[in-house]
Amino acid sequence: MKSFFLALLKSRAGLFGFVLVLVFVLAALLAPYLGLPVPTRSNLVARMVAPTWTGAFSPGAHPLGTDELGRDILSRIVHGSRVTLAIAAAAVVLGGIVGTLLGIVAGYYRGMVDRVLMRIVDIQLALPLMLLALLVIAALGPSTTNLIIVLSLTSWLRYARIIRGQVLALREREFILSAHAIGAGTWRIMIKHLLPNVMTPALVIATLELARIIIMDAALSFLGLGVQPPNPSWGRMLADGRVYISTAWWIVTFPGIAILLTVLSVNLLGDWLRDYFDPKLRTMR
């Protein structure tokens, strides 16, 4: 553990990503206690107020300005991050558990089970993920639960593929063979012996998937298929602010920067974790 943090301190990019992720997660968790204005309260007198630092006339303190209904943009971004990060985290965990378990099963049993599972992966990959998400959301209707289901549906196959490959190699190792020899059951071998050994690659994939899912979630809510108003969401803020692009540039600019910084920091952390734990994963996408 100590050497892990020492290595993290040495890598500038990894440390930058780690600190930024920490800041974003803390801001999301502590959002109600930060003294920010209520994100859903509109104030028609203070509509489309420019950010304070631009020097333009600005009643009240709005560091990033207000939107078309006079709602504080900074507060909406911070509160929006709660929703986005919660959905993305839930989707990563759900997709990760399903994908990892199926990957272990496919790699351990091989044969028919493996062939069928990998065929399903191939077939699903034939449908661009965004279209799959649109099709399923159109069928189920937009809601937070459906969004989590759809996002994890686009994610499980990456774990399944990579973990399967790892298990195929692991199952020939001595410690698995000896577990067999002393009569350990199939489940015991999969859960007690294989699972702990694929946790590291699963964690690396999860971090990189988190970044992809945050962008996809923003894209879906940009199209109006994500979290429904009045809950603030980054994609929705972009979609609503787009109409006012010629008069109030700040409405569309800052939510996008929030997405960019979040994805960038998660990516940097993920890249570093991958290089630290297992550089071979680089070629397996």
Partner 1 sequence: MTRFLAAKIGESLLAIWGVVTIVFFVSRVLGDPAVLLLPVGAGQQDIDSLRAALGLDRPILEQYFWSLLSMLKGDFGMSFQHQRPAMEVVLERMPATAMLAATALVFGTLIGATAGAVAALRRGTISEFIVMIAALLGQATPVFWLGIMLILVFSVDLGWFPTGGSGTWAHLVLPGLTLAVFVSASIARLLRSSLLDIMREDYVRTARAKGLMPRTVFFWHIARNALIPVVTMIGIIAGELLGGSVVIETVFAWPGVGRIIMQAIQNQDFPVIQAGVALVAAIFIVINLVVDLLYGVLDPRIRRR
Phi then psi dihedrals of residue 68, to 5 deg: -65, -15
- Using the minimum distance from each CB to partner 1, give the nearer residue, 95 or 235: 235
d(CA 278, CA 285): 13
Options 27, 52, 264, 276; binder of partner 1; rule CB under 8 A: 264
Provide the 8-state DSSP code for 154.
T
The residue from 44, 45, 112, 131 that contacts partner 1 (CB under 8 A) is 131
CA 138/CA 192 separation, integer angstroms? 40
Q: Considering beta carbons, is residue 130 or 191 the nearer one to partner 1?
A: 130
Between the CA of residue 100 and those of 90, 161, 203, 247, 279, what are the distances in Å? Answer: 15, 9, 10, 49, 19
Determine if 219 is a binding residue for partner 1 (CB under 8 A).
yes
Of 238, 269, 273, 281, the residue at the interface with partner 1 (CB under 8 A) is 238
Q: What is the distance between the terminal CA atoms of the chain, rounded to a whole angstrom?
A: 27
| CB closer to partner 1, 92 vs 153 | 153
Nearer to partner 1, 9 or 135 (CB): 135
Does residue 15 interact with partner 1 by CB under 8 A?
no
Those residues with Cβ within 8 angstroms of residue 272's Cβ, 6 or more apart along the chain or in another chain? 8, 11, 13, 14, 17, 18
Closer Cβ to partner 1, 144 or 253, answer by number: 253
HSE-CB for 272 with a 13 A CA cutoff? 22
DSSP state of 189: I
138 binds partner 1 (CB under 8 A): yes
The region of 86-94, 100-108, 196-204, 218-226 touching partner 1 under the rule CB under 8 A is: 218-226
CB of residue 127 to partner 1, shortest distance in Å? 5
Q: Is 6 in the site for partner 1 (CB under 8 A)?
A: no
| Interacting span for partner 1 (CB under 8 A) from 29-37, 57-65, 159-167, 250-258 | 250-258
Binding to partner 1 by residue 282, rule CB under 8 A? yes
223 contact partners, CB below 8 Å, separation of at least 6 = 134, 235, 239
Examine residue 230 and say whether the peptide bond preceding it is cis (omega within 30 degrees of 0): yes
The residues of the shown chain that bind partner 1, judged by CB under 8 A, are 119-120, 122-132, 134-136, 138-140, 211, 215, 218-219, 222-223, 225, 238, 242, 245-246, 249, 252-253, 255-256, 259-261, 263-264, 267-268, 282-283, 285
